[in-house]
Amino acid sequence: MRTIEDLDVSGKRVFVRADLNVPLDGDRITDDGRIRAALPTIAKLRERGARVIVAAHLGRPKGAPDPKYTLRPVAARLGELLGTEVAFATDTSGESAAAVSAALADGEVALLENLRFEAGETSKDDAERGAFADRLARLADLYIGDGFGAVHRKHASVYDLPQRLPHAVGGLVLAEVEVLRRLTVDPERPYAVVLGGAKVSDKLDVIDNLLNTADRLIIGGGMVYTFLKARGYEVGSSLLESDQVETVQGYLQRAQDKGVEIVLPVDVVAAEAFSADAPHGPVDADAIPADRMGLDIGPKSVELFAAKLADARTIFWNGPMGVFEMEPYSHGTRGLAEALIGSGAFTVVGGGDSAAAVRALGFDEKAFGHISTGGGASLEYLEGKSLPGIEALDD
């Protein structure tokens, strides 16, 4: 893949597809990690005299403008972090975008409005998607793909646009791909994978592939209750995908046949209701009361998971261990993060809620080997799937 260094960007309008899909509370950004991750590529282009046009999506608007998904707050925060004004186009490829693009001077930056305000961005129809990519192409001379969190999507700005402009990969995407290759091509062993999050159905494909590459799978989060049910345990009112129990039983058997260790919690924090104020406490994983729900792994499980990570040389973590947003159920995720830091292994935090948890719980991001900006993209890579946004840049 060509990099920024392979392109002459001075005086050129450079379209940067970034991932600025940040969480908002009204118009307040609650976690600016993805904006900060985009800064090095944008700063490098500015230093080399490019006229930088940044584009991204936010949330899931239905192909039409929706004020609650505007990128205007992101433009303001991006400007603060860059230390310069960021012009904001009130559309994606119309009059405002054209005017803002044309007005840029060398080293200046603009941000387009939410790409998903246009139906053509996410359309499954090649012609509709291509027509939108044609309009975007008129705004720029060059294309830089740097939105790793979107490279698993066959979207106009990710897949079709780089086919219409001279293009290169941005530093963020390049770093992400290098890390993921380190996880998939002869990883240093023992290789442990920690999976959490809500639904086991979201992780079936990655579990299937990891049974061929990992030495140890450690399971927590809401998805673990389907695993516990597959072991024949009572899970009370915990999150359960009953239609996946048989599938999980098959994975447990495959893991045993392949010699891959699957580690499940030995205790959980069970509460009477999904609330920080509900009566709660640790119970053994095989003795969850019928009227309680598991909302975190318990203290004995934290110790077990830490012990299972202590000898690992490579660790990939995707998904919190519990409802970390509520303080009583944050201790499992905190303990796991501390175990990763203390392991001495090459540690990768696989984006999404895991990365948000690291920041929300106050950990120094530099204490981990790598924090990914794309949970879904990371998982699909580990599943062995081809990523359209990488395909489009890989020539």
What's residue 284's pLDDT?
98
Residues recognised as catalytic: 34, 199, 352, 376
Residue ranges in the chain whose pLDDT is less than 50: none
CA distance 245 to 14: 49
Per CATH, which fold does 179-383 belong to? Rossmann fold (3.40.50)
- Residue 151 and residue 388 in contact, taking contact as beta carbons nearer than 8 Å: yes
What's residue 376's pLDDT?
85
pLDDT tens column, 107-159: 999 999 999 999 999 999 999 999 999 999 999 999 999 999 999 999 999 99
What's residue 101's pLDDT?
97
CA distance 221 to 198: 6
Residues at the annotated binding site for ATP?
Answer: 203, 294, 325, 351-354
Rounded to the nearest 5 percent, the helix, strand and coil shares of the chain are: 45, 15, 40
Q: Which residues lie below 8 Å from residue 356, measured CB to CB, with a gap of 6+?
A: 23, 31, 33
What's residue 384's pLDDT?
86
Residue 41, judged by CB atoms within 10 A of its CB (0-12, 13-18, 19+), counts as buried
What's residue 283's pLDDT?
98
Give me the torsion for CA of 1, 118, 19, 28, rounded to 10°.
Answer: 170
pTM for this one? 0.88
Residue 244, number of CB atoms within 10 A of its CB:
19
Count of H-run helices and E-run strands, the chain? 14, 17
CA distance 360 to 320: 12
Tell me what the pLDDT averaged over the chain comes to.
95
What's residue 199's pLDDT?
87
Largest CA distance in the chain: 67
- Residue 196 and residue 321 in contact, taking contact as beta carbons nearer than 8 Å: yes
Please tell me what DSSP assigns to residue 3. Answer: B
Residues at the annotated binding site?
Answer: 19-21, 34, 57-60, 116, 153, 203, 294, 325, 351-354
What's residue 350's pLDDT?
87
N- to C-terminal Cα distance for the chain?
6
Q: CATH 3.40.50.1260 spans which residues of the chain? A: 4-171, 179-383
Tell me the residue type at 384: G
Residues at the annotated binding site for substrate?
Answer: 19-21, 34, 57-60, 116, 153
CA distance 198 to 53: 36
CA distance 254 to 233: 20
Q: Could you write out the DSSP letters of every residue in 327-379? A: GGG-HHHHHHHHHHHHH-SEEEE-SHHHHHHHHHTT--GGGSSEE-S-HHHHH
What's residue 143's pLDDT?
98
Helix (H) or strand (E) holding 131: helix 126-137
C-alpha distances in angstroms, 275 versus 271, 287, 294, 329? 8, 21, 12, 10
Measured in degrees and rounded to the nearest 5, phi and psi for residue 195 equal -120, 135
What's residue 167's pLDDT?
98
Q: Which residues pair with 144 in a beta bridge?
A: 16, 168
Residues at the annotated binding site for (2R)-3-phosphoglycerate?
Answer: 34, 116, 153
Q: Which residues lie below 8 Å from residue 95, measured CB to CB, with a gap of 6+?
A: none
CATH number, domain 4-171: 3.40.50.1260
